[in-house]
């Protein structure tokens, strides 16, 4: 099974310092929905792993989160894309749970649900904690320079707290270009 794990805020939709608290505030990043559709059409399953500490902080409720995801699914469907599942951590940072990134708990839940080995599964997000969670789970970390990742624009090499094998991409469409081009190259090499 070809599976890719994406963060949500700052990766698929606009990051807000004051949290995305409603479906009205949920706004996709340019080209992000189409990028997911391209992955789907190439046979990839897309799953989201997202910290949603706004729940634990009391900034919004589960009904509001469900409305955000309903909007996301509807907008994805309109461009021929889909997200297979959304895994989220509802806890605030001080709860010290196992599912809040940078811990790998959400990713391990995904592995269990889908029966996949996470070794080399691409994980893309806009933050250090996304990369750390991915690396801790054995995934292949991809940092996007959107959302919080914009702070790393022009930073070469990445600071030492980033996993050594972190790849950097301008945005979700660029990450998808990379994955699909690599897949095509690998297929050509196997055909030779």
Tens digit of each residue's pLDDT, the chain (192 residues)? 999 999 999 999 999 999 999 999 999 999 999 999 999 999 999 999 999 999 999 999 999 999 999 999 999 999 999 999 999 999 999 999 999 999 999 999 999 999 999 999 999 999 999 999 999 999 999 999 999 999 999 999 999 999 999 999 999 999 999 999 999 999 888 876
What pLDDT, on a 0 to 100 scale, did the predictor assign at position 60? 97
Q: Write the CA distances from 110 to 86, 91, 165, 170, integer angstroms.
A: 9, 18, 22, 26
- Residue 46, φ and ψ in degrees, nearest 5: -110, 125
pLDDT at residue 189, as a whole number: 85
pLDDT at residue number 192? 64
Q: Is 86 helix (H, G, I), strand (E, B) or coil?
A: strand
Which residue bears the tokens 């709860």? 95
| Residues ≥6 apart with Cβ < 8 Å to 191 | none
Distance CA 11, CA 163 (A): 19
């Amino acid at each position: 099974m070809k599976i890719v794990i994406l963060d949500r805020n700052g990766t698929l939709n606009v990051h807000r310092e004051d949290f995305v608290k409603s479906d009205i505030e949920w706004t996709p990043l340019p080209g992000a929905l189409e990028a997911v559709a391209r992955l789907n059409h190439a046979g990839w399953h897309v799953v989201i792993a997202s910290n949603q500490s706004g729940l634990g902080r009391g900034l919004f409720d589960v009904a509001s989160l469900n409305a955000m995801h309903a909007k996301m699914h509807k907008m994805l469907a309109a461009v021929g894309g889909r997200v297979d599942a959304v895994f989220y951590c509802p806890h605030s940072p001080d709860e010290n749970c196992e599912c809040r990134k940078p811990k790998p708990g959400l990713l391990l839940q995904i592995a269990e649900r889908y029966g996949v080995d996470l070794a080399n599964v691409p994980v893309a997000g806009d933050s250090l904690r996304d990369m750390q969670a991915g690396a801790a789970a054995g995934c292949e970390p991809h940092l996007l320079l959107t959302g919080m990742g914009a702070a790393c624009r022009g930073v070469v090499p990445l600071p030492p707290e980033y996993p050594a094998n972190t790849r950097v991409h301008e945005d979700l469409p660029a990450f998808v270009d990379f994955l699909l081009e690599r897949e095509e190259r690998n297929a050509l090499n196997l055909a030779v």
